[in-house]
Structure 1
């Protein structure tokens, strides 16, 4: 019996994911990619906000992948509701994005999203984004960084962001990737990722408003 328990303890934990997407072809592609990935299990898929609202409190996934434009509303509404849900459960949230859609991504981050990934990305990129989200990583692009610099400038960034957070944003806005930003600032990539999460959290705090949470 002790040997059986030892083997069970060696089994890596499964990362649970829930998908909100109304495009059947895209949803099928994402579900297939998740099904092929080791250590990931999709616990549900909804093509409407109403369905997601009903199922998420029961499924309680670790990562939520959500489109924003849905037939019965905006995915940002769902994200805002989840952000105010009981502290015992809150998923890491990634939203779909397309080039030139930075404004909607920023609104989703303000509502509580942890990051985004591009529609049409490769399967490895999708899986990397999901796994990264589960570890607390928050992706950021030059376009998003430039948008954030403008947003924080209007809120007196010197009082909101730390000196290093401002430096990270400025370098990302110039096109440097995380490893290059880390090298230029004498930091580790992990610390850079921590700064990005901190920037997103401050953006959310600036724009957080009370909402009715999802039912238990």
Structure 2
């Protein structure tokens, strides 16, 4: 069973999300919080697999909440999936850089949301089409933003094939799409992605995308 904490200041929305999530045979909401600081405190005594969190909340916002959860729990931190109305590029980037593993808009369907929770819980990244579009827009509209030299050096250590796979991940392609694009198996794509994550110190593919963008990698 994948356990979930809901963090959103709208009680009615939390109620609706709980109904959607608890209707899944493998998902269960076990904790709720109406603001970020409450969520941080609850996680001191409550263990969950995934935190489903809004960004726009009273008190500390979602991005700061993510940072505090990461700081408090480190590698034992629950996975974090952002669910918000605001899916502009700045919000996507801020959430990923703070440590979120996924980003969905509140317009996601129940099936998409349930699948996103499962993917995040399993160690994958989960970005909605609008979130991927936001990242692509950011890259295309800011092509001359300076790369972080430290991040750039990390990605310079990748093999040509690993770098190619990272570029396609940044472009928003999944393993199957990358497999078809460069004529290797999905398993080999995953292997290259995992090696790239290990070399640059990324926890998962969402953080890999964030670090790659900071390094100037373009999809």
Same-fold call, TM cutoff 0.5? yes
Q: How large is the RMSD of aligned CA atoms in angstroms?
A: 3.3
1:15 aligns with 2:2: yes
Instruction: Indicate which of 139, 143, 163 corresponds to 2:126.
Output: 139
Secondary structure in 2 matching 1:73:
coil
Q: Which residue of structure 2 lines up, in the alignment, with residue 160 of structure 1?
A: 154
> 1:29 corresponds to which residue?
16
2:77 is paired with a residue whose SS is coil
Please give the alpha-carbon distance, in whole angstroms, between the structure 2 residues aligned to 1:123 and 1:66.
16
Distance 2:164 2:62 in 1: 31
Deviation at 1:120, TM superposition (A): 1.6
Gaps of 5+ in 1: 1-13, 208-216
Q: Closer, same or farther in 2 for the Cα pair 1:81/1:166, shift >3 Å?
A: same
**Matched residue SS, 2:135:** helix
TM-score, normalised relative to structure 2: 0.73
Q: How many residues get paired?
A: 194
CA offsets, 1:12-69, max 9 Å, x none? xx11110101123322221111110112121111111232122111112111111111
**What's the TM-score, normalizing by structure 1?**
0.74
Whole-angstrom distance in 1 between the partners of 2:172 and 2:100: 23
- Name stretches of at least 5 consecutive residues in structure 2 with no aligned partner: 198-203, 215-219
1:117 maps to: 104
Q: Indicate the SS of the match to 1:70.
A: coil
